[in-house]
């Protein structure tokens, strides 16, 4: 299992490199020459580190592929890490063109959150069920991830645009919504923090519950606030659950996921409140001054271009390749499975974005909000659809 060790070390290395690169991108603030092609020293180091990090992640990807015998895009952990990688890839391409260091300062943390989020899911190499045993798995999933990664950049840039442009001197609807977006990012961080903490403590509580005649056990690695529906706690000397998960949570192991969500929200809220206490102003307002040297026009253009580039890729991977595979595997290219519906919703949404922008002149803030919402829909499809709405894609 040496190869597998190399693989996970490589992923870890990539993560650390992205982290360091983010600091170097941060250091470019002092350069104050954002519209200039001549980059400072720190900018060069930053992009070099990013590229090395990306290469390390490629090492992770290939070694894992070799050791498992199938492309590592078959479960939630593998898919999300690949999405993080696609986001970095899209960033590197855009950087080569626009030479915009600040993009790295925002894109890399988002990518790191995604990768860290990914590693909270089981990282074991799992065998493929028959429906996944197809070359279309790699073709479909990698194209989707790449499309989503590029669209992710439009989210990052749209967010930067909003942070820069929204007037933070007065409290308004816009500042509130921007804070909500920031808060959601904190919830993700909260998820990572709380899961890592209890994992380090090796916390475990086992529940038994029976759908029908079978009895299933599930292991909680966080203290149970919400127990699985109709379950009994088996482990002793652990916290008793406060209530049971409502029955309409459909996905596999819904109780545990719901419990994790509760913990993430609690932890995220605490971290957010502490941050606000320290900063003594809105998070958006704090970040605003970082962006004062960037041209809003350029952000607007990058945001639009990444949608323009990502939309065809997403269509190809998320709808066309998906349909071809579904036709081969299930004999129907479209079945209105929740995941499919949400891919269609995503597609309609970005189609509306493009029409509003091209024909109705929605530029600037309006368009930036749309870019943020669009990525929200993508993440919804990735997380909520898997958590709450069961379907054919329940594996990832």
Partner 1 sequence: MKQVKCECGHVNPLGTVLCESCGKPIEENQHIDGNEGKKLLNMRYDGTARRSKTYNKSIVDRIWSFFSSVKVGVWLIVLALIASMIGTIFPQEMYIPADAPNRDPAVFYESQYGVLGLIFYQLGLHNLYSSWWYMLLIALIGVSLVICSLDRFIPLFRALRHQNPKKHQSFLSRQRLYSETESSTDDELNMVKKQLKIRRYNIKETEGYLLAEKGRFSRWGPYVNHIGLIIILIAAILRTTPLFFMNEYVWVREGEIEVLPGSNGEYYVENKDFIFETHDENDERFKEALSKEGMVASNYQTDVVVYKADRSIPGEEPELEPIVEDSIQMNKPLSFEGYELIQSWYQLNEFSSMTFKIHETSDADEKSLGSFTVDLRNPQPEFELDNGFKVVLDQYYPDYYLDDNGIPASETNFPRNPAFVFSIYSEGNDKPEVSFVGIGRNIDGTGENNYKLGIQEFEMHDVSGLTFKYDRSLPFFGIGAAIFMIGVIQGMYWQHRRIWIHKRKDGSLVMAAHTNKNWFGLKKDIEVVTQNTNIKMVEDQQELDEKDK
**Residues in 175-234 that interact with partner 1 by CB under 8 A:** 211-212
Taking CB under 8 A as the binding criterion, the range among 41-49, 146-154, 196-204, 364-372 that sits at the site for partner 1 is 364-372
Judged by CB under 8 A, does residue 16 bind partner 1? no
Query: Under a CB-based contact definition with an 8 Å cutoff, are residues 254 and 245 in contact?
Result: yes
Q: In what order do the strands lie in the sheet with 231-233?
A: 216-220, 205-209, 231-233
Residue among 51, 58, 298, 383 that touches partner 1 (CB under 8 A): 298
Taking CB under 8 A as the binding criterion, the range among 12-20, 129-137, 236-244, 272-280 that sits at the site for partner 1 is 129-137
Q: What is the x/- site pattern for partner 1, positions 17-46, by CB under 8 A?
A: ------------------------------
Torsion angle in degrees (nearest 10) through CA of 174, 179, 184, 187: -170
Q: How far is the CB of 204 from partner 1 (least distance, A)?
A: 13
How big is the CA angle at 119 (ends 117 and 125), to the nearest 5 degrees? 140
Q: Which is nearer to partner 1, 42 or 143 (CB)?
A: 143
Q: How far is the CB of 79 from partner 1 (least distance, A)?
A: 16
- Rounded to an integer, what distance in angstroms lies between the CA atom of residue 294 and that of residue 283? 19
Q: Which is nearer to partner 1, 45 or 396 (CB)?
A: 396
Sign of the CA dihedral running 252, 255, 256, 257: positive
Query: Under a CB-based contact definition with an 8 Å cutoff, are residues 349 and 378 in contact?
Result: no
- Rounded to an integer, what distance in angstroms lies between the CA atom of residue 354 and that of residue 130? 38
Q: Binding-site residue total for partner 1 (CB under 8 A)?
A: 72
Sign of the CA dihedral running 235, 241, 246, 250: negative
Q: Which of residues 314-353 bind partner 1 (CB under 8 A)?
A: 315-316, 320, 323, 327-333, 335-338, 341-342, 344-345, 348-349, 351-352
Q: How far is the CB of 366 from partner 1 (least distance, A)?
A: 8
Taking CB under 8 A as the binding criterion, the range among 85-93, 139-147, 149-157, 362-370 that sits at the site for partner 1 is 362-370
Q: Which is nearer to partner 1, 21 or 302 (CB)?
A: 302
Judged by CB under 8 A, does residue 292 bind partner 1? no
Q: Which of residues 51-70 bind partner 1 (CB under 8 A)?
A: 67-69
Structure tokens that stand for 396 in this block: 């990832």
Q: Which is nearer to partner 1, 130 or 278 (CB)?
A: 130
Q: Which is nearer to partner 1, 74 or 111 (CB)?
A: 74
Q: Which is nearer to partner 1, 212 or 237 (CB)?
A: 212
Query: Under a CB-based contact definition with an 8 Å cutoff, are residues 125 and 64 in contact?
Result: yes
Structure tokens that stand for 263 in this block: 């913990």
Judged by CB under 8 A, does residue 50 bind partner 1? no
List, in order, residues 6 or more apart from 325 with CB less than 8 Å away: 134, 136, 137, 139, 140
Q: Which is nearer to partner 1, 115 or 166 (CB)?
A: 166
Q: Which of residues 230-289 bind partner 1 (CB under 8 A)?
A: 247-248, 250
- Rounded to an integer, what distance in angstroms lies between the CA atom of residue 243 and that of residue 240? 9
The burial class, CB within 10 Å (0-12 / 13-18 / 19+), for 392 is middle
Q: Which is nearer to partner 1, 27 or 316 (CB)?
A: 316
- Rounded to an integer, what distance in angstroms lies between the CA atom of residue 246 and that of residue 215? 19
Taking CB under 8 A as the binding criterion, the range among 9-17, 201-209, 264-272, 290-298 that sits at the site for partner 1 is 290-298
Q: Which is nearer to partner 1, 42 or 70 (CB)?
A: 70
Listed in sequence order, the DSSP H helices in the chain are 2-27, 41-68, 76-98, 101-118, 135-165, 173-200, 254-279, 283-288, 296-314, 322-330, 338-360, 364-387
Q: Which of residues 95-124 bind partner 1 (CB under 8 A)?
A: 97-98, 122, 124
Judged by CB under 8 A, does residue 297 bind partner 1? yes
Q: Which is nearer to partner 1, 111 or 154 (CB)?
A: 154
Q: How far is the CB of 207 from partner 1 (least distance, A)?
A: 15
Rg (CA), the chain: 22
């Amino acid at each position: 299992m040496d190869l597998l060790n190399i693989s996970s070390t490589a992923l870890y290395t990539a993560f650390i490199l992205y982290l360091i690169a983010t600091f170097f991108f941060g250091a470019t603030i002092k350069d104050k020459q954002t519209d200039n092609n001549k980059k400072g020293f720190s900018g060069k180091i930053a992009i070099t580190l990013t590229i090395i990090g990306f290469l390390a992640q490629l090492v992770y990807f290939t070694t894992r592929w070799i050791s498992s015998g199938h492309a590592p895009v078959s479960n939630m952990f593998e898919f999300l890490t690949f999405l993080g990688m696609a986001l970095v890839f899209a960033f590197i391409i855009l950087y080569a063109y626009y030479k915009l260091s600040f993009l790295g300062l925002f894109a890399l943390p988002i990518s790191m959150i995604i990768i860290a989020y990914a590693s909270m899911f089981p990282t074991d190499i799992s065998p493929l069920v028959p429906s996944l045993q197809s070359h279309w798995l790699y073709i479909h999933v990698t194209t989707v991830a790449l499309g989503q990664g590029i669209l992710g950049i439009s989210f990052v840039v749209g967010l930067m645009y909003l942070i820069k442009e929204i007037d933070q001197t007065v409290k308004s609807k816009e500042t509130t919504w921007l804070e909500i977006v920031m808060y959601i990012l904190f919830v993700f961080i909260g998820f990572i923090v709380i899961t890592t903490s209890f994992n380090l403590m090796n916390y475990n509580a086992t529940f038994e519950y029976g759908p029908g005649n079978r009895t299933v056990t599930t292991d909680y690695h966080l203290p149970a606030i919400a127990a699985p529906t109709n379950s009994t706690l088996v482990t002793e000397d652990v916290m008793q659950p406060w209530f049971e998960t409502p029955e309409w949570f459909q996905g596999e192991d819904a109780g545990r996921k719901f419990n994790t969500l509760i913990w993430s929200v609690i932890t995220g809220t605490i971290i957010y409140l502490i941050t606000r206490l320290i900063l003594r102003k809105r998070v958006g307002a704090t970040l605003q001054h970082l962006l004062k040297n960037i041209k809003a026009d350029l952000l607007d253009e990058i945001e639009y271009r990444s949608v323009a580039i990502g939309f065809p890729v997403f269509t190809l991977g998320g709808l066309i390749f998906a349909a071809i595979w579904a036709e081969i595997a299930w004999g129907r290219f479209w079945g209105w499975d929740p995941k499919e519906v949400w891919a269609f919703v995503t597609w309609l949404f970005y189609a509306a974005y493009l029409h509003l922008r091209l024909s109705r002149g929605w530029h600037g803030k309006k368009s930036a909000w749309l870019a943020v919402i669009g990525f929200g829909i993508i993440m919804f499809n990735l997380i909520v659809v898997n958590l709450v709405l069961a379907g054919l894609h329940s594996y990832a």
